[in-house]
Amino acid sequence: MISAIRPKLELLSQEFIKKIVDESYILLERQGIFVENTQAIELFKEAGMKVDESTHRVFITRQLVEDALSSTPSTFQLFSRNGEKVYTIGNDEVHFDPGSAAVTILDHKTQEQRKAETKDVIDFVRISDLMTNIHLQSTGLISSDVPDIISDSYRLYLALLYSEKPIVTGTFRVEGFKPMKDMLVAVRGSEDALSDKPLAIFDACPSPPLKWSNLTTQSLIDSARAGIPSELISMGMTGATSPVTIAGTLVQHVAENFCGIVICQLANKGAPVVFGGSPSSFDMRKGTTPMGAIETMMIDSAYSQIAKHLGLPSHAYMGLSDAKIIDGQAGLETGIGAVLAALSGINVISGPGMLNFESCQSLEKLVVDNEICGMAYRLIAGITQRDDPIALDLFQNFTAETQFLTMPHTRSWYREEHIFPKVIDRDTYDYWISLGKKSISERASEEVEKLLSDNPPDVVDQAVQEDLHSIMLSDAKNYGLSALPEKGLP
Amino acid sequence: MTDKDLFARMAQSIIDGNKDDAQALAKEAIDVQMNLNEVIESGYVPGVQKVGQLWEEGEYFLPELITSAECMKAAMAVLKPELQKSQIETPTLGRIVIGTIEGDIHDIGKNLVASMLSANGFEVIDLGADVKIETFLEKADEVDADLICLSALLTTTMLGQKRLIEQLEKRGLADRFVVMVGGAPVNQKWADDIGADGYAENAMTAVRAAKMLVNK
């Protein structure tokens, strides 16, 4: 039997990759990079790097980067909340997670984007949990009914309460790390157990060009030491905060990621790190950062190819749209992005549900995007030889009346070879009219309602629930909140 | 060369985004002792206006727009000391203190706004990024600003805009400064909610809004 080839998208030649990576090394060595965190500066000095203390500029040698690359695992595993399901991050494994971290939700009833509250975040977590083609959970929506300062830990709190899937998250403040780690430890039972079976990835974003802020650097150090994988989110905007050429932006992107990897490895050799990002093509007319632009996707695909070349797990923001409602643009940008990301073999793909330049989440879009992700998975599964001979046997005793519908062969393979969407329209025109001429957004909205009413929330065990609640409450109390919003605890 | 030719070349230097020309022409104007206010008004400003028009027509994009704004700033940097020397008041639409609020080190959007305001005749004091609320207040007081412009990219730092306005009210300074807010997560509703005087969603509308606010 001939097995399927994995269809692959590769935008760069080996020669081009080498040239880009070489320039990134030179950039870090000659120009240096800003690291605004004293602990990290100390680590760099201990490693013998030249540091300009007054400007927080660190000059990183090629050797140190190469050492860090060789001690960074090429794959690592995430585990579900109950510790049973395993997700490998690395190789050509592809996992989608909802785009993060939206500040608004698209309200289906009004078609307006509004601030999200606890209930919205819970619905978001529950729907994401139910989406079979969205493997990972993300803290993709910010709740506005708690003070902004604790919005990082609060979103993780709700995700842990209501979802079985591993979580892509991150801190918004240096102090946010402790309660967030404590909650993860509460689920696992001990710090060692968390380190053995990571439950979450922490995102950390350098500030382009070539700067790691205090907050994000601290997150790298703290995560590395707690055995929590870090995901590096470099985000140059072509011609605004990074060179306008795609290759030029790649040089900066790789250099920023290199620095993040070195910090993680200096903090804890062998710490898992994902080479990721959220760069974008900068729209020179609108001054915006379109995530649905083809050039944005090209940058993503190219740096993930570089990550693979270096033997690192990869991540990108793809499979999302800049549309404001669920319209044609939302579908086409998400579809192109998800397919290209899967073809690029990106390990963690953050995007589903997201609209409006990474600022808005939509439950309906999550449901639609789940189907897009399903199509992407089907595509990369490729074409397999199922029988030998492939088809000749099926044509034995072939007559004019031969049809395939009732053949046992059909029945045994149709569910393997084909996927069946729920909200994508495949009805005849008349039947579609008889159903009320509904758009995909309307069908998805009905599906959201149905999913929420048919599936009881997947709530964590009572004992863990109480631990999580007390950690969250004590974090909230530090900022003057005496109780959590009522619906926070089931 | 007639004054008219020189003015046309000044305007062209702005339109082309040619900083060297813009500065050389400013020096030439000083050398031949031209009326410098007229140089600004009839030479450079028409260039800025033309750039604005090309932008509106969809001909110019941000790189042209901002490069021209930077050229205008460069020309003004040559002219200003001369104007001061001869104690001529530099014509200005108003004085603006601008910055990205504490906790936020993103400043690309703010830089665009600052450049455009400056090119369009405002005196702009740019405090940079990650600016403490107290620094905004001190600087605005020190330079007797007309406007305070606050940028924020993050939803967490957006709150700093609110805190600054609260501080102004607390200190009885709310009437003294006009406050304009902007940044990715900011919208008109937020501006209204926190009691900001103005809001702009991009650099061009910021210029329009600022002009309107100082004329109020």
pLDDT digits (tens, 9 = 90+) for A2-52: 999 999 999 999 999 999 999 999 999 999 999 999 999 999 999 999 999
Percent of chain A whose pLDDT exceeds 90? 95
Find the helix or strand (DSSP H, E) in which A51 lies. strand A50-52
What number is the average pLDDT over the span B23-39? 94
Instruction: Show which of residues 84-103 on chain B sit within 8 Å of chain A, judged by CB atoms.
Output: none
The token pair that represents B204 in the structure block: 């061009």
Could you tell me which residues come within 8 angstroms of residue B144 by beta carbon, excluding any fewer than 6 positions away? B95
Give the side-chain half-sphere CA count within 13 A for A131: 34
Partners of A100 on chain B (C-beta within 8 Å) are: none
Does the CB of B185 have a partner CB in chain A at under 8 Å? yes
Q: Residues of A291-306 as b/e, b for ≥16 C-beta within 10 angstroms? A: bbbeebbbbbbbbbbb
Partners of A240 on chain B (C-beta within 8 Å) are: 62, 108
The token pair that represents A242 in the structure block: 């990074």
pLDDT at position B155 is 66
For A280-325, the DSSP string reads B---TTT----TT-HHHHHHHHHHHHHHHHTT--BEEE-S----SS
Minimal C-alpha gap between B5 and chain A (Å)? 32
- Alpha carbon A213 to its chain's center: 21
Q: What residue has token string 């007309």? A: B146
Class of domain A1-388+408-490: alpha beta
Instruction: Show which of residues 103-122 on chain B sit within 8 Å of chain A, judged by CB atoms.
Output: 105-106, 108-109, 112
CB-based contact B180:B209 (threshold 8 Å): yes
Q: How far apart are CA B167 and CA A483, in angstroms?
A: 28
Give the side-chain half-sphere CA count within 13 A for A253: 35
CB-based contact A263:A221 (threshold 8 Å): yes
CA atoms B30, B34, B40, B44: torsion sign:
negative
Q: How far apart are CA A321 and CA A354, in angstroms?
A: 6
Which chain A residue has its CA at the smallest distance from B66's CA? A284
What number is the average pLDDT over the span A134-153? 94
pLDDT at B106 exceeding the cut of 70 = no
pLDDT at B208 exceeding the cut of 80 = yes
User: What are the structural domain ranges in chain B?
Assistant: 3-85, 95-215
Q: How far apart are CA A94 and CA A374, in angstroms?
A: 11
pLDDT at B90 exceeding the cut of 90 = no
Does the CB of B202 have a partner CB in chain A at under 8 Å? yes
Q: How far apart are CA A485 and CA B175, in angstroms?
A: 37
- What CATH superfamily classification does B95-215 receive? Cobalamin-binding domain (3.40.50.280)
- Comparing CB atoms, the residue among A148, A357, A359 nearest residue B159 is A148
* Residues A247-266 pLDDT 10s: 999 999 999 999 999 999 99
What number is the average pLDDT over the span A413-421? 95
The token pair that represents A59 in the structure block: 């000059």
Average per-residue pLDDT in chain A? 96
Q: How far apart are CA A114 and CA A106, in angstroms?
A: 6
* Residues A352-378 pLDDT 10s: 999 999 999 999 999 999 999 999 999
Query: Strands of A33-35's sheet, edge to edge?
Result: A50-52, A57-59, A33-35, A211-212
- What CATH superfamily classification does B3-85 receive? Methionine synthase domain (1.10.1240.10)
* Residues A275-315 pLDDT 10s: 999 999 999 988 889 999 999 999 999 999 999 999 999 99
Which chain A residue has its CA at the smallest distance from B189's CA? A114
Kindly give the pairing relationship between strand A137-138 and strand A33-35: unpaired
Find the helix or strand (DSSP H, E) in which A231 lies. strand A230-234
How does DSSP classify residue B44?
I
pLDDT at position B104 is 66
The maximal CA–CA distance of chain B, rounded, in angstroms, is 58
User: Comparing A1-15, A337-351, B181-195, which segment has the lowest mean pLDDT?
Assistant: B181-195
A356 burial level (CB within 10 Å; 0-12, 13-18, 19+): buried
Q: How far apart are CA A432 and CA A222, in angstroms?
A: 54
Q: How far apart are CA A325 and CA A304, in angstroms?
A: 29
pLDDT at position A293 is 98
